[in-house]
Amino acid sequence: MAKSRIQFICQNCGSVHQRWAGKCDACGEWNTLVEEGTNSGIGSGPASLRSPRKGRAVALTTLSGDIEDAPRIASGIGELDRATGGGFVRGSALLVGGDPGIGKSTLLTQAAAALAAKGHRIVYVSGEEAVAQIRLRAQRLGVAAAPVELAAETNVEDILATIADGRRPDLLILDSIQTLWTDMADSAPGTVTQVRSSAQAMIRYAKSTGAAVVLVGHVTKEGQIAGPRVVEHMVDAVLYFEGEGGHHYRILRTVKNRFGPTDEIGVFEMSDKGLREVSNPSELFLGERHAKSPGAAVFAGMEGTRPVLVEIQALVAPSPLGTPRRAVVGWDSARLSMILAVLEAHCGVRFATHDVYLNVAGGYRITEPAADLAVAAALVSSLTGIALPADCVYFGEISLSGAIRPVAHAQQRLKEAEKLGFGQAVLPRGSEEISGGNGFGAFQPETLTDLVVRIAGTLRRNAED
């Protein structure tokens, strides 16, 4: 008979340890090892499947053959469909992760209502909220009349038994994966073992019946709560719902998608009547662009296939401290240090006695290195007190040698800038042929020094006027 042994499982990364330790060797997180029984079988499948049995032969097939085109259920909420790559895919599992309170349940309630109104069978199972709370939200969203089938339940077997009768649901929403538990595993709900076993059961349900399954998962910044991270590789698509506290904007970001593009974003605004789609995000992130103030530069960025213009704000002020402060919101602080070092080493711009603050407008977060040039321009502008031209966009990557490197999609970035009324651009040389021209002024510096000289030159030109 198999002996049940005690194991310790890291709640952050899911690695298995024989002994308890304060720190997980695998991921380096502290205090994440939790004792869990082994008869649930991490990595060895549910208990009932582990008893030795004779294997069943499966039919082998060929690479060629008919492919069923992934049939999708489009929600009609444009920004959501964009992020999923055109709608929920039948027979697939999708994970929607995000901080608690960001609006996951709101988004999915709206999607469920929209789909139910079109005649699809939608089942919404909540393990977190009582039916009354969900009804209250639906009333607030103005969708209480939609024929969504609702339940408050946390046991996987009960949920599967419930949806087994009647027409197969087109979409099954499970809010949230952390609250689910299955009889197959004997750990407490919310532990890695339970989350993994429950997710496995629901994914198996999706694959075998052809229903689309959406799993909601909470992630905390510290990664304290078990779950979504270990589910990520099991599901077909992963979307993260993000937003900065204090801002109303929410971004639905595709991190993984077996049936569509990644790096797509959907942009929403949280209002008192739920999430509103924002189809032109540039307008959100551009900030107030009336005053000519030093330290602001507009970055022409890309999010997946969509160009997004964002204002980058820098404040460089004399520091009273021995070690001046560097603070960044919405960008990588290591990258800021790099730009400062390049400006000091190659362009003779000194920040050693100055505090540097950098902010990306609208609570937006930039991950592209193409923002380097806009950041450098904002920094130099703030240090010198010279306002940059209000109708100019910047993009380009800066290398450690001070050279400006080309980035992809130059044409699309310029087109978006032109559409929003910008008339000039500072961009790398030779990125792509800049076609058109029609009055759009392009400055293509070879090195960062060229840009610094140009910004400093503005002062002289202004003085001469």
Cβ atoms of 362 and 287 within 8 Å: the answer is yes
Residue 135 Cβ vs ligand TYD, minimum distance, rounded to whole Å = 12
Provide, rounded to whole angstroms, the least separation between the CB of residue 321 and ligand TYD. 37
Is residue 135 near ligand TYD by the rule CB under 6 A?
Answer: no
The edge-to-edge listing of strands for the beta sheet with 354-360 is: 326-329, 354-360, 306-318, 296-303, 392-394, 424-426, 441-443
CB nearer to Mg ion: give 181 or 241: 241
Among 85, 97, 98, 228, binds ligand TYD (CB under 6 A): 98
Distance CA 85, CA 259 (A): 7
The distance of closest approach from Cβ of residue 213 to ligand TYD in the complex, given in angstroms and rounded to an integer, is 17
- Judged on CB neighbours under 10 Å (0-12, 13-18, 19+), 51 is exposed
Q: Report the first-to-last Cα separation within the chain, whole angstroms.
A: 92
Which of Mg ion, ligand TYD, none lies near 229, with the C-beta cut-off 5 to 8 A by kind?
Answer: none
**Strand duo 392-394 + 296-303: pairing:** parallel
Q: Is omega for the bond preceding 176 within 30 degrees of 0, making it cis? A: yes
| Closest separation in Å from C-beta 410 to ligand TYD | 37
Place of tokens 């909540």: 126
What is the residue whose two structure tokens read 């992934």?
A: 70
Let me know: does 12 contact 223? Beta carbons within 8 Å: yes
Residue nearer to ligand TYD on the CB measure, 213 or 340? 213
- The one of ligand TYD, Mg ion, none whose footprint includes residue 137, by CB under 5 to 8 A per kind, is ligand TYD
Asked if 102 is part of the footprint of ligand TYD (rule: CB under 6 A), the reply reads: yes
Q: Which CB sits closer to ligand TYD, 100 or 147?
A: 100
Only one of the segments 163-171, 266-274, 302-310, 423-431 lies at the binding site for ligand TYD (rule: CB under 6 A); that segment is 266-274
Interacting partner of 78 out of ligand TYD, Mg ion, none (Cβ under 5 to 8 A depending on kind) = none
Q: Which is nearer to ligand TYD, 14 or 103 (CB)?
A: 103
Encoded one letter per residue, x for contact with Mg ion by CB under 5 A and - for no contact, window 88-127 reads: -----------------x----------------------
The residues, ordered by sequence, that sit 6+ positions from 108 with a Cβ below 8 Å of its Cβ are 96, 124, 173, 175, 214, 216
Which positions from 388 to 427 touch ligand TYD by CB under 6 A, shown as an x/- string?
A: ----------------------------------------
Total residues interacting with ligand TYD, rule: CB under 6 A? 15
Residue 78, CA distances (Å) to 215, 265, 268, 365 in order: 20, 11, 10, 22
Does residue number 272 form part of the binding site for ligand TYD (CB under 6 A)?
Answer: yes
- How far apart CA 252 and CA 265 sit, in angstroms, is 5
Q: Which residues bind Mg ion (CB under 5 A)?
A: 105
Q: Which residues bind ligand TYD (CB under 6 A)?
A: 98, 100-106, 137, 140-141, 270, 272-274
